[in-house]
Amino acid sequence: MNTNNAVIIVTHNRLALLKECVSACLDQTAPFSRIIIVNNNSTDGTGEYLKKLADETKKPTVTVITKEDNLGGAGGFYEGMNAILESGSGIDNVLLIDDDAILRKDYMEQLLRYQDRLNVSGHGSKGKYGRPGKQHALAGSVMTNGVIDISHRRTIINRLAFLEKPVERIQYKTQSFKCDTATFCGLLIPMDLLKKAGLPKKEYFIWYDDSEYCLRLPGVTVIPSAVLEHKTKLMDSKTNILDRTSWKSYYGFRNRLDTAKEHFGPLTALIVDMEYFTLRLISIAMTFSPDKGQRDHALFNIKMITDAARDGRFGNLGRNPDYMQ
């Protein structure tokens, strides 16, 4: 575990969580060499806290990137990863987290121990006797309110239709398992692999930037013993997807279609587009509901999915002023 590791934290107006997140990063049993924090135009005192943190923290090196606009998670990780690439600072691995991800003390230690075993066995980034081997991006378990949130680590069950499903909970009882896509909630990327994969699509703003990025990697290995607490609310899986939509869903629908087009080709993009067409038909049927709230939400879904499908189809990315909080 004699490596130089960096963590990139993206934050926006969540000062209390950011402080807890940074504290956990400073308390790792396998310490970071660099902490890079991208401040997405926070207005809650985050700037003052980060200036003091950078001035007072001697080790690890703390770098603050302050943006005059909110670039979203996609833009924030783009900026942080680009800063590492440009610095040429001898970093071996880069961990990606948002400000609401609280690492357990041994999170990095668990990932790096597994990475060491891969290197010794000849299947890691260095390979046995120094020969190059297959590189691995690593991730841990994401816990929310004491429960593993399986939505963060997924496998593609149908590549033609670009259908994903979360890795089954029983897999978290094993030493390790593979998945196709993972969120940037605790994803560790070896530096050599990052250089090959490049930077995330900052134009995605939020959502699917991590899935698209993982599809450039040779898969992700999850180490369940590496645990972080994600301080957010668990999604209610019992409700219909059309009942859970919000302004953020526009970016999820749009970016998924763009990802399908980018990685699986025009036929898959057409299938995803037809899926959206079906969801619009269902939303139209929901406008006949006797419940006014459901009718209003159905009208929102019709417009949102139509806009997302159009923009995903034609590559109109970036922030959309109609879908901002």
In this structure, the strands spanning 5-11 and 34-40 are: parallel
CA distance 180 to 138: 11
CA distance 265 to 306: 21
pLDDT score, position 310: 98
Closest CA to 101 of 27, 32, 186: 186
DSSP structural state of residue 105 = T
In this structure, the strands spanning 187-190 and 137-144 are: antiparallel
3-state secondary structure of 216: coil
CA distance 154 to 77: 21
Phi, psi torsion values for 197, nearest 5 degrees = -80, -25
139 neighbors 220 (Cβ within 8 angstroms):
yes
220 neighbors 179 (Cβ within 8 angstroms):
yes
pLDDT score, position 241: 86
3-state secondary structure of 125: coil
In sequence order, the 6+-apart residues with CB closer than 8 A to the CB of 253 are 276, 304, 305, 308, 309, 312
Q: List per-block mean pLDDT (blocks of 10 residues) for the chain, which spans 325 residues.
A: 90 98 98 97 97 93 96 98 90 97 98 84 41 72 96 97 97 97 98 96 98 95 98 74 94 98 97 98 96 95 98 97 93
pLDDT score, position 1: 63
State the DSSP H helix or E strand holding residue 280, giving kind and residue range, or none if neither: helix 266-286
pLDDT score, position 234: 74
**Which tokens go with 137?**
């991006």
pLDDT score, position 117: 86
